[in-house]
Structure 1
Amino acid sequence: MSGRKTIGTIKMRNRQVTDSLKGLGTRIYDQIEDRKFPWVDIKSRTSQNIKMDEKLGQYVLGPKTIKRSAHNRRNLKPLSQILWVSTVGKELLEQNKTSTLRDVFYMAQGEGTEIQFAEQSESDDIITDLETVLNAAREDLHIYPKERSAIFGDLTVEYTSPPGWEGQKRNTALDPNGTVIGPPMTSAEFVKCQADKLIVVEKHAMFTRFIEEGAYKKFNALLISSEGQAPRATRKLIRRLSTELDLPVMILTDGDPWGISIASVIIHGSVNCAHLRDLNTPEAVWAGIYASDIVKYKLPTVRMTDRTMQKRGSDVEKLDKLAQFFDTPAFKNTVWQKEIALYEKLKRKCELEAFSRYGLSFVVDKYLKDKIKEIGFS
């Protein structure tokens, strides 16, 4: 399975998105030529229109749509903003440049621009509307949030951006800090990969520990630090590594409801991204920390917060929501149901660093080794 490579994936996707943008512009132009008020259909993102597609293994939007027409004066500004952002995306693609969400907010305040946003949340919402219209992620338009994740291992990539870096190759194991998963990494082509698995870890501190302990060599793996809830660009990269290179993916998180949620979003997607595809990896495996791991390895724990300790966003409240989500026939007798039930019984949580009670090397030499064997990745 060594030496796999994929070339042309990013260029093909860029052409598809450019064609979608041109198609949007053509539809608006034709509507005006026909002396009609221009309009776009946007799939509703209300909770009532979001469902879990068991075949795809992710949240998707239902059939309900919202028509945003210039015939309604209230729609004039948001419709103009959608078209303006589409123009920004087209220019970014044509110039092979990238932008941040914050950049887009300030670009709208430029001289001669009449569609200024009151605050960034407004421009972020308009970008999401455009994603829904195009069926393409903002990252496909070269618009990114703040970057924070990293990748490490024997993977050689070829950059397709930024200008001046096209065609340059880099192995992600060259920097002991890892390679930042920013726009250049997200849009890079995979040239050669010697690893046969991908390990995603929630915390950068544990990512560093895995590098120092040589986990990438011992288990022939690529490593990704999600830095908490994985950014969309990171989730998309995980998906690409899984589908384009056939890498099995395992996810390690803290032993708490929030860690379970992090793994679930990577695998099943999120409600907020129900309008998009290719951001989740259904074949990925949540490998721990399980509640049973806490018991098996006698890990140090602390009590989960509840409503008496924290009115909103407590651990117990989050655990209850997860229990409800996984209480369906599709997840019957799965590790999700079993481990969540045990967490509900224990009402205790722990961090990945808890394995350090047995020494710094234990988490790699014992726990990770056992987990890889347990889930059949060895």
Structure 2
Amino acid sequence: MAVNEEFWQTLDNFRATILYSGDLEAPATVPTRSQDHSREVVKRCEGIIEGVVASLARGEPPVLRVPRPQSQVYRLVGTDSYATRRDAFYEFVWLYKTQSTLDRVAEDLTRLLGVPRRALHLTATGKGLVAGCLRYTTHDGTLVDASQASNGVGVPECVAGLTDIQTDSRYVLVVEKDATFQKLLETHFLRSFGPAILVTGKGYPDLNTRQLVFRLRRDLQLPVLALTDADPYGLHIAAVYKFGALAREESGLSVGSLAWLGVLPTDLRSLQLPAHALLPLTPKDHGKLASLAAHPALSRHPAWLRQIEEQFRIGCKAEIQGLTHVAPDYLTITYLPTKLKMGGWVA
């Protein structure tokens, strides 16, 4: 199926809808200190230290003892530089002893300062990949052109530090699995149905991948669609990108206008997959669906609740790879192009 004007018209209509939905923030230019909370982190660190000094000057026990690990964050934020959590651990390995100790300290510090985790300038090595028509400059000045990588490039460690983000793409497709991501690249999906950007978090996405998808949405003003398995965990992964995590959530990570393209539970009947391509829901699956239905944000979206209800009703699930039972290239030749052309998504 070749791309025609109707294909792009459907996506452009979707983009126009979300442009005026209030979901978009103003496109970011070069990140500033106010944007990544740097000034606020410095101010609050200094305030905590001043409080300790004042207590000592009055001859009172200090309310809070500021340990050395926090001075790492103060130095990073003060100099507008970044370090991976792994590098921070090895700098004071004698103090932390284990990586998990540093991770707990960083988490406690975000709660103490009341800022997002990324505001500490401690980054993590991303597990996700990005491919397609996308160019950007990393925080250390490296120029990256994702279109030149046949298997995608790693999601950058410091998404907040990206500058000069450029693209000719008209949509972003977030893919649950790396295997599907690679399959789309191998079959030249981007050549046939681009320009577009592909992103995968290789399952449940890490913070870097979620932050990158958010920036692509905000800075480039592109519609974002998700492709996952038609099972409770695929639904959950799509929901994480759209609504955020069930636990504590930070701003700048979720894309409220994201649309779940498929594979939808409501697609399974029309796909007519053979019985061996469908798996029965397990008790754990039922519990996952129930918890998702109770998600405060998801529960306010009837279209998403309908997918949960349909999965309960049919009592089975299917993976993206199950589409090969229809035809080996059914996903790339028929399913995705048709869904994109007809607007067959859940927003």
For residue 118 of structure 1, report the CA deviation from its aligned partner: 6.4
Query: d(CA) in 2 for partners of 1:21 and 1:171?
Result: 32
SS in 2 for 1:286: strand
User: Aligned partner of 2:137: which letter?
Assistant: E
In the alignment, residue 216 of structure 2 is paired with which amino acid?
L
Cα separation, 2, equivalents of 1:212 and 1:124: 37
What is the identity, as a one-letter code, of the residue corresponding to 1:223? L
Matched with 1:230 is 205
Does 1:88 pair with 2:67? Answer: no
Q: How far 1:326 moved relative to its partner? A: 6.6
CA separation in 2, counterparts of 1:242 and 1:16? 17
Shift of 1:303: 1.3
Kindly indicate which of the two structures has a greater share of residues assigned to helix.
Answer: 2
SS in 1 for 2:225: strand
Q: 1:211 & 1:327 partners in 2: Cα distance? A: 33
Residue identity in the other structure for 1:17: H
Task: Please state whether the residue corresponding to 1:295 is helix, strand or coil.
Answer: helix
Matched residues in 2 for 1:297 and 1:362: separation?
10
Q: Does 1:99 align with 2:84?
A: yes
How far is the alpha carbon of 1:201 from its aligned partner?
A: 0.3
Q: Map 1:319-338 onto structure 2 (within 5 A).
A: 319-325=289-295, 330-331=300-301, 334-338=302-306
- 1:167-220 CA distance string (max 9 Å, x none): x42211111110100315663224421001000000011001111222223132
**Is 1:343 matched up with 2:328?**
no
- 1:252 corresponds in structure 2 to 227
TM-aligned CA distance change 1:23 to 1:288, over 3 Å:
same
Residue identity in the other structure for 2:162:
A
Deviation at 1:148, TM superposition (A): 1.2
Contact 2:224/2:259 (CA < 8 Å) preserved in 1? yes
1:97 positional shift = 4.0
Name the residue aligned to 1:294. Answer: 268
- Return the letter of the residue paired with 1:9: V
Shift of 1:268: 0.7
Q: Distance in 1 between matches of 2:298 and 2:174?
A: 26
Runs of at least 5 residues in structure 1 that lack an aligned partner in the other structure? 39-68, 111-115, 307-313
> Is there any run of 5+ residues in structure 2 with no aligned partner, and where?
1-11, 13-26
Kept after mapping to 1: 8 A contact 2:82/2:123: no
Q: For the Cα contact (< 8 Å) 1:267–1:281, is it kept in 2?
A: yes
Q: How many residues align?
A: 313
**Secondary structure of the residue that 2:247 maps to in structure 1?**
helix
1:97 to 1:178, Cα distance in 2 relative to 1, 3 A? same
CA 1:176–1:237 in 2, change beyond 3 Å: closer, same or farther? Answer: same
AA aligned opposite 1:23:
K
> Which of the numbers 306, 317, 325 marks the counterpart of 1:357?
325
Q: Is the 8 A contact 1:198 1:221 kept in 2?
A: yes
In 1, the alpha carbon distance for the partners of 2:38 and 2:127 equals 27
Q: Return the alpha-carbon distance in structure 1 between the equivalents of residues 40 and 70 of structure 2.
A: 10
Counterpart selection for 1:155 from 129, 134, 137: 134
- The CA deviation string for residues 148-168 of structure 1, in whole angstroms up to 9 with x for no partner, is 11000111112222xxxx1x4
Deviation digits for residues 292-311 of structure 1, max 9, x if unmatched?
111111232111222xxxxx
Q: Percent identity?
A: 22
Q: Cα offset for 1:123?
A: 2.8
- Contact residue 155 and residue 222 of structure 1 kept, 8 A: yes
User: Which residue of 139, 142, 152 maps to 1:178?
Assistant: 152
Which aligned pairs between 1:32-181 and structure 2 lie closer than 5 A? 32-35=52-55, 70-71=62-63, 80-81=66-67, 84-93=68-77, 94=79, 96-100=81-85, 102-110=86-94, 116-117=95-96, 119-161=98-140, 166=141, 168-181=142-155
Q: Spell out, residue by residue over 1:248-290, the C-alpha distance to the aligned partner (whole angstroms, 9 max, x if none).
A: 000111111111111111111113332x211111111112211
Distance in 2 (CA, whole Å) between partners of 1:342 and 1:326 is 20
SS in 2 for 1:176: coil
The root-mean-square deviation of aligned C-alpha atoms, in Å, is: 2.8
Distance 2:165 2:291 in 1: 42
Q: Return the structure number with greater strand share.
A: 1
How far does residue 347 in structure 1 lie from its aligned partner after superposition?
1.6
* Aligned AA (1:304): L
* Aligned residue in 1 for 2:214: 239
What amino acid is aligned across from residue 19 of structure 1 in structure 2?
A: R
1:282 aligns with 2:302: no
Work out which structure has the larger RCO, using CA pairs closer than 8 Å and 6 or more positions apart in sequence.
2
* Structure 2 residue aligned with 1:24: 44
CA distance in 2, matches of 1:7, 1:342: 39
Aligned partners of 1:37 and 1:205: how far apart in 2?
61
SS at match of 2:148: coil
What is the alpha-carbon distance in structure 2 between the residues aligned to residue 150 and residue 372 of structure 1?
22
- 2:287 corresponds in structure 1 to 317
Q: Distance in 2 between matches of 1:87 and 1:327?
A: 37
